Chain A
Amino acid sequence: MHIPPLGAETLFYIAGIPITNTIINVWLAILIFLVLGIFISRNAKLRPGRLQNAAEYFLEILLGYFDQVTGDRKRTLRFLPLVGSVFFFILLSNWLGLLPGTGSITYNHEFLLRPANTDLNLTVAMALVAVLSSHLFGLFTVGIFTHLNKFIQIGTFVKSLTKGPVAIFTAIVEMGVGLIEIVSEMAKVLSLSLRLFGNIFAGEVLMTVMASLVGLLVPAPFMLLELLVGIIQAAVFTMLTLVYLTVLTEEPHGEEAH
């Protein structure tokens, strides 16, 4: 039984860059999206064909869920390039891990295919992009000082100096809360990346164990479960990203009168 290690296995090197089996999976996803994308973009019409119709159907459902978080279709469409890409990429990568060949075809004594999200490098990269993007959106939407004041509340402290000792005390507490907010921003990256990595990696280990124990039929229910986990994890990552984007692009609820 070959239990996958935490880190992705290097298959070969291109110009000194290690190419891991998760990267092969990402390339496969890129290829699928590229073919699908070229087909859709070339055939996109006002009167849609079957593929466009199906794609629009799923997109409309997704936009409906996104609207529930953002509360506004305009904002949803503003965040769509990031959250839409994240959702579809995570979903396809997770489901590609269920393809026959994953965990069975070997190259250089290592498995050729491994679900992309069982590589912490990728999940951290996506989480970092999500959190940094939420800050960039926040900066451009509410302004630099308003955005920074959510974390380093010097402005609130300066204003409180003229309002008496209680206001100064509250401002000091708020500054402390701001520092905690900074820590929580780092925690966002950790929680997003580790949650996705943990769930998909655990699924891959489970599948490997089940397939090793009984190769026929028994893994099928677990594969169905992994289909569900794949879409749930994609939705969780995307919705959390959307929540971060929405929260950081909202104006603070007015400064308290001290």
Chain B
Amino acid sequence: MPNTNIETHTVVETENTDQGVLASLGLNGQLFTFQLINFAVVAVIIWFLILKPLTKKLAEREKMIDESIENSKKVQENLTKAERDYQKKIDDAKAAAGQILDNAAADGKKTGEQLKVQARKEIENLVDQAKRNIQIEEKEMVVKLKSETASLIVAALEKILEEKVDEKKDKQLIESAIKKLTP
């Protein structure tokens, strides 16, 4: 059987040689066209069903990654800016708080001084008032003492003299005694 095959092919190849070099190589216009169409079909299938969707997805993914990197850079920049703003606000707040504390301390000191002065004034007023009251009471006591002394002197004189002086003489005696008592 193998010998038959070799013989068959030898016959075919001899015929092909007769038809020319191209035919001996198996080149045939009809088959060439058919294989060209086959290759075109393969190329269309490979491109439109395999390579194009894959390259499209690759490009989309690349774009997405680029955008993500760009966005992350923006987010990083915003974060840094926000941190800077935050730090600035914290510093401002600290400065403001310090200022408020200083002001409060100054106000406290001032108020304390004012209260001290006010208290001193009030104490002085109280002392003055007390002194005035004492003077008034002293005067009242002097008047009362004079009155009591006069009555006492009259009673003592009446007792000593055992005489009843008239009202006019009595009054003279009292007044003279008072005058003597007045410092």
- The chain A residues found within 8 Å of chain B, CB to CB, are 1-3, 5-8, 17-18, 20, 22-23, 26-27, 29-30, 33-34, 36-38, 40-41, 44-46, 48, 52, 55-56, 59-60, 77, 80-82, 84-86, 88-89, 119-122, 124-126, 128-129
Contact = CB atoms under 8 A, between A and B. Distances in A.
Contact of A59 (B32, B42, B55): B55
A85 B42 CA distance: 7
Contacts of A129: 36, 39-40
Interface residues of B, number: 42
B76 interface: no
Contacts of A46: 57, 60-61, 64
A40 B50 contact: yes
Contact of A84 (B27, B32, B51, B64): B51
Interface of B: 2, 5-6, 9, 12-13, 16, 23-28, 30-32, 34-36, 38-43, 45-58, 60-61, 64
Given A1-B2, A88-B46, A119 B31 contact: yes
Contacts of A34: 45, 49
**Most chain A C-beta atoms within 10 Å of own C-beta, residue among B23, B47, B50:** B50
A9 to B, nearest CB: 9
Contacts of A122: 35, 38-39
Query: Chain A's interface: helix, strand, loop or mixed, by majority?
Result: helix
B99 to A, nearest CB: 56
A52 B54 contact: yes
B51 A81 contact: yes
Closest 9 CB pairs of A and B: A7-B26, A37-B49, A85-B43, A125-B36, A122-B35, A44-B53, A85-B46, A81-B47, A121-B32
Contact of A17 (B12, B16, B30, B58): B30
